[in-house]
Structure 1
């Protein structure tokens, strides 16, 4: 069989994309190690019983970050029916659908409530039939910001960084993916309360889609740029807020808002559900959870308080 045909093409494509994800994983680990200014990441390698595995890197009790987790994985196997229904895409016409997925994900929980939590992930999926024939493939990902204090200039910084990055690839990407993010990161069980001030979110981003016209390499380059956007979009915020003083009220509110973050990840997040449904390593799937969180009973905040101003700030708006 020639290198241009059949399974060789699929194997080469998968190897190239997985190698990119590995490089991005290393870049992000180096970036957050530098940004923490003192902490180090522990690395754990794991294997998935159904095929594949991953590498988890976790920084605990750092200088700037109370917890930071950066994971990469390459997993494959038979796609369970429940996962297939949530995943979307075009599966096998008959018989079982097989999947291949690789990606990098991170969630970083700063120690100071003056610094927002940030999440980012990029991922690639393939679906094939029982004979290995490709039936669908796409990229997904995004990044969003979850502040605990109403510094509006931080939201402007984050979104302007994302907008500049998106505009280098396609004029419609930022507006489309920002609106998608605003719809996605919402606790619908709490009256559609937003998790944070948003960012960008996309899924089923395919090559040569008439909506954008980008070929496979151009789509892959965009996804790589999403993974590399935090030095422009997030680092200025950390630098600006690192030494800002705070007290017990700010810390308490941070823990309460972290509780809402946990609720979203456990109830609504697609990545968490997919990982659990496909028997991925539980410690890696739940890496996104903060080290400490709090649930108060029916909290109320005085008009004009920093808590009330933060809640008001979560309403979707044009941050550019």
Structure 2
């Protein structure tokens, strides 16, 4: 299973980076292949200063070794060996009219002293963070997610959409990071779903990513915007940074397992503002977004 999934994310990284270079039209991804001293490594691809994408990364990794003590406590286990692989991406467009997007698809195994698998699971998802709310874009993103889910189980979309809203919640701000999408974790073998079933589901979602995001970028990338729009984007990016550094489990896992710091923190945008006690004007488009982030809504019928 781990070999099959690693082969899949290698191919998916190529597919996604090629398409995003085409969408940008100018910038190209820089690639760094790295090794982790404790075992494993990865392939980081970062794009910067494009005409559409200001900064983005599409990274894969496959790491293994002894489970660090901090992760033992997180998983409530003793000493164990582990293997983890996945693809993680974040794209920060230049225009405030184009949303930031994040996605991750991963697989994890733990082993006993004899090297036998004692636990394994899939996780992942994809979510959208707009700076200006275009409801048709939100509907398109969620509809694409739902179509991918419904091919496997009609209960997946409402369940994983709800989990996404709960996970990407900035508790210290009492608001969502964005307008959600899908989030699933600890997807293990059961009477209803084999690991092969989960593999097929996770790869279905991964394959849906470009269809979920690229049409939105193509529709909004030529929209005019002002200096004030850009300032708002940078203020909202600050909330994105806060979530990633305070709450995100993926960032924590990378830091606790001696992951490559440049790859872990590539998710942070290049230009950010923190403005003291900032509130958007009443009745503005900025306030419209905030109200949605304070109370996540259902964008499509379940």
TM-score range, shorter chain: over 0.9
Q: CA deviation at 1:54?
A: 0.3
Residue 150 of structure 1 corresponds to 133
Q: CA deviation at 1:85?
A: 2.7
Residue 317 of structure 1 corresponds to 297
Residue 50 of structure 1 corresponds to 38
Residue 198 of structure 2 corresponds to 219
Q: CA RMSD in A?
A: 1.2
Residue 281 of structure 1 corresponds to 260
Gaps (5+ residues) in structure 1? 1-12
Q: Give the Cα–Cα distance (whole angstroms) in 1 for the partners of residues 103 and 180 of structure 2.
A: 11
Q: CA deviation at 1:172?
A: 0.6
8 Å CA contact 2:2–2:107 kept in 1: the answer is: no
| Runs of 4+ displaced beyond 4 Å | none
Q: CA deviation at 1:91?
A: 4.2
Are 1:202 and 2:190 matched, yes or no?
no
Residue 5 of structure 1 corresponds to none
Q: Give the Cα–Cα distance (whole angstroms) in 2 for the partners of residues 20 and 123 of structure 1.
A: 11
Q: Give the Cα–Cα distance (whole angstroms) in 2 for the partners of residues 18 and 289 of structure 1.
A: 25
Q: Give the Cα–Cα distance (whole angstroms) in 2 for the partners of residues 231 and 45 of structure 1.
A: 24
* 1:270-309: CA deviation from partner (whole Å, max 9, x where unpaired): 0000000000100001111111111010102221011111
* 1:26-58: CA deviation from partner (whole Å, max 9, x where unpaired): 111112112222210000011101100000000
Q: CA deviation at 1:219?
A: 1.2
8 Å CA contact 1:91–1:135 kept in 2: the answer is: no
Q: Which residue, out of 49, 65, 71, partners 1:83? A: 71
8 Å CA contact 2:55–2:270 kept in 1: the answer is: yes
Q: CA deviation at 1:232?
A: 2.0
Q: Give the Cα–Cα distance (whole angstroms) in 1 for the partners of residues 77 and 153 of structure 2.
A: 29
Secondary structure at the counterpart of residue 223 of structure 1: helix
Which stretch shows the higher mean deviation, 219-228 or 241-250? Answer: 219-228
8 Å CA contact 1:36–1:64 kept in 2: the answer is: yes
Residue 128 of structure 1 corresponds to 111
8 Å CA contact 1:60–1:66 kept in 2: the answer is: yes
Gaps (5+ residues) in structure 2? none
Q: Give the Cα–Cα distance (whole angstroms) in 1 for the partners of residues 68 and 210 of structure 2.
A: 38
Residue 4 of structure 1 corresponds to none
Question: What TM-score do you get using the length of structure 2 for normalisation?
Answer: 0.96
Residue 6 of structure 1 corresponds to none
Q: Give the Cα–Cα distance (whole angstroms) in 1 for the partners of residues 77 and 122 of structure 2.
A: 16
Q: Counterparts in 2 of 1:141-290, with a 5 A limit?
A: 141-190=124-173, 192-207=174-189, 209-210=190-191, 213-290=192-269
* 1:84-128: CA deviation from partner (whole Å, max 9, x where unpaired): 333x3x745xxx211100000100000000000000000000011
8 Å CA contact 1:124–1:138 kept in 2: the answer is: yes
Secondary structure at the counterpart of residue 274 of structure 1: helix
Q: Give the Cα–Cα distance (whole angstroms) in 2 for the partners of residues 247 and 85 of structure 1.
A: 48
Q: Give the Cα–Cα distance (whole angstroms) in 2 for the partners of residues 250 and 310 of structure 1.
A: 13
Are 1:112 and 2:112 matched, yes or no?
no
Residue 51 of structure 2 corresponds to 63
Secondary structure at the counterpart of residue 286 of structure 1: helix
Question: What TM-score do you get using the length of structure 1 for normalisation?
Answer: 0.91
Cα distance change on mapping 1:273 and 1:135 into 2, 3 Å: same
8 Å CA contact 2:16–2:210 kept in 1: the answer is: no
Aligned residues: 299
Are 1:31 and 2:25 matched, yes or no?
no
